[in-house]
Amino acid sequence: MILADKIIDLRKKSGMSQEELAQKLGISRQSVSKWEAARSVPDMDKVLKLSDLFDVSCDYLLRDDLGPEDASGQSVSPSSATPDMSAVGEIEREPIPVTVEQANSFLDHEIQRAMKIATGVGLCVASAAPLMLFLGLYTRDNNVASSLGTVIIIALVALGIAVMVMAQQGDQEFQKIRHEPIDTEYGVDGIVRQRQKSYDRTHMRELALGIVLCVASCIPLLAVAMLTNDEGPITASVGILLLIVAIGVFLIVHTSIISSSFSALLEEGDYTRGSKRFDKRFGNLYWGIVTAAYLLVSFLTRDWGMTWVVWPVAGVIWGAISETYRSR
């Protein structure tokens, strides 16, 4: 139970409105509203006043692992109320401090960045779809269809890259949270976990739908192949396959970025301090090589209906490499 929930619970049990609580504490109602929405946390002076007002211990207010049954008792000293940092291992550099406001700004920024990056990746994956559709439907002059389709590929890839570059706008101040050790102030952990819990259902829904679309994308191709041996419809169905895959990839990338933003602040999963060091050393190089290989093989083979498989395979390989590194 985090501090925000405890304040709401204690205020309601005391029969007070946010306005009345604010008056007793000598603050604005907006401040109380922010506390209860987990958008900010009270300073130690206000924690002491809340403790006296509701007749609960500071220990109860400050520790997320304590429930209502632990509310009574003497307040702990400021030193014992300070979050225990002894569990933090030795690191190569001083952790970067992250406040509640910075954490909320980072999460809001990641939501916007996720949409842009997912759109850019989706455009790149779908870029060959018009070419396949043109070649399959416009059979009178394959040279015209091929030329027009190639122009669209270049345009969509360029647009996708541009959108992904735009996603980095204003990202400089948040890159350290993703790539460097951080030291979050009290209250950040509870707020992040609350927002993570609220997003979990959406994350699972988008992830499941994205995976289903990628797996089921071959159904139109198989269905057309069963009905006809004509190369035109089969080629056009590859374009439909790519469009379905692009939507699936968009959903997977979008929700994965948002979900990973919580892990970045909690330093869990792929954002442990060891993983951050590994990703900083090898991540950009690895994915740069994968992107170059995808484009090179796709243009040389012109088999865009199959080369997209490079991305899930590369993701699995990267996950295995990262896990091996973390377990060392």
- Please give the pLDDT value at position 44: 81
Write the pLDDT tens digit of every residue in 125-136: 888 888 888 888
Least confident among 5-9, 60-64, 239-243, 320-324: 320-324
Write the pLDDT tens digit of every residue in 31-65: 887 778 777 778 788 888 888 888 888 878 777 76
Residues 79-104, mean pLDDT to the nearest whole number: 59
Given a cut of 50, whether residue 81 has pLDDT beyond it is no
- Please give the pLDDT value at position 201: 94
Does domain 3-81 fall into CATH 1.10.1840.10?
no
Name the pLDDT band for 280 (thresholds 50, 70, 90): low
Is pTM beyond 0.75 here?
no
Please provide residue 182's backbone torsions phi and psi, each rounded to the nearest 5 degrees: -125, 160
Residues 288-314, mean pLDDT to the nearest whole number: 75
What is the residue-averaged pLDDT of the chain? 79
Given a cut of 50, whether residue 215 has pLDDT beyond it is yes
Q: Where are the domains of the chain?
A: 3-81, 96-185+195-326
Least confident among 187-191, 224-228, 299-303: 299-303
- Please give the pLDDT value at position 173: 77
Given a cut of 60, whether residue 77 has pLDDT beyond it is no
Write the pLDDT tens digit of every residue in 246-272: 999 999 999 999 998 998 888 887 777
